[in-house]
Amino acid sequence: MAENKKNKRNNRNNGDNDYNPKFRKMRKKVCPLCADKDLGLDFKNADQMKKFVNDKGKILPRRATGACAKHQRDITLAVKRARQIATGSSPMTDEEDTSPVTLAADEIEEGKITLYDEAEWKEKDKQENNEKQENE
């Protein structure tokens, strides 16, 4: 009987000696908004907002929602707008308004802004200083 239990355990862990069913490796969560590009966050859609809010109405953290930092900020903004509408007032921010951080991240992603490493930045700064001195 004890041997049967051992065999079942060995079949489950596939030869891993440190197998413990209590400590399973957690799968990395993927941002639901990044995974599905067509999925748009709509503060008027109650079913969608329920995924990001607990039963008391608090916004769930990133570790629970699995959202990336950029989309977690958008989720927060959408939930706050939904709360304002639920109280009967109009939202204080426009739908098109997004945070400066989100706009900057979008511009970097689209290639409108080029990022320099520290060495390139210092070199560019030296060139600008030399040009200023020559003009004076």
- Amino acid, single-letter form, for residue 96: E
Residue 91 lies in a domain: yes
Residue 47 lies in a domain: yes
Could you tell me the pTM of the whole model? 0.50
Residue 114 lies in a domain: no
pLDDT tens over the chain, length 136 residues: 556 555 555 555 555 566 666 666 667 778 888 888 888 888 888 888 888 999 988 999 998 888 999 999 999 999 988 888 887 766 665 666 666 667 777 777 787 776 666 777 778 888 888 888 888 7
Residue 6 lies in a domain: no
Residue 53 lies in a domain: yes
Domain that holds residue 36: 31-98
What b-and-e string marks burial along 40-57, b requiring 16 or more CB atoms within 10 Å of the CB? ebebeeeebbeebbeeee
Residue 53 — φ and ψ, nearest 5°? Answer: -130, 140
Report pLDDT for 31.
Answer: 87
Residue 1 lies in a domain: no
Total of domains in the chain: 1
SS3 of residue 118 by DSSP: helix
Q: Which CATH number covers residue 50?
A: 4.10.640.10
Residue 119 lies in a domain: no
